[in-house]
Amino acid sequence: MNCLICKQNCSITTINPLVDKYECTNCHTFYVEKGFLGQLEAFETKYGKTKYQLILNEMEKKSKNQIVVFVVDFEQPLVNIKDAIYLELEDLVGLAHIKTFDINSPLTYGS
Nearest CA to 27 out of 66, 72, 1, 71 is that of 66
Cβ-based neighbours of 36, under 8 Å, separated by 6 or more: 70, 71, 72, 88, 89
CA distance 106 to 74: 22
Q: Is position 109 within any domain?
A: no
Query: What mean pLDDT, rounded, does the chain reach?
Result: 91
Start-to-end CA distance of the chain, whole Å, equals: 46
Residue 103 lies in a domain: no
Judge whether 63 lies within some domain: yes
pLDDT digits 0-9 by tens, 26-78: 999 999 999 999 999 999 999 999 999 999 999 999 999 899 999 999 999 99
State which residues form the domain around 85: 11-98
Q: pLDDT, tens digit, for every residue of 20-30?
A: 999 999 999 99
State how many domains the chain has. Answer: 1
In a domain, residue 42? The reply is: yes
Residue 91 resides in a domain: yes
In a domain, residue 76? The reply is yes
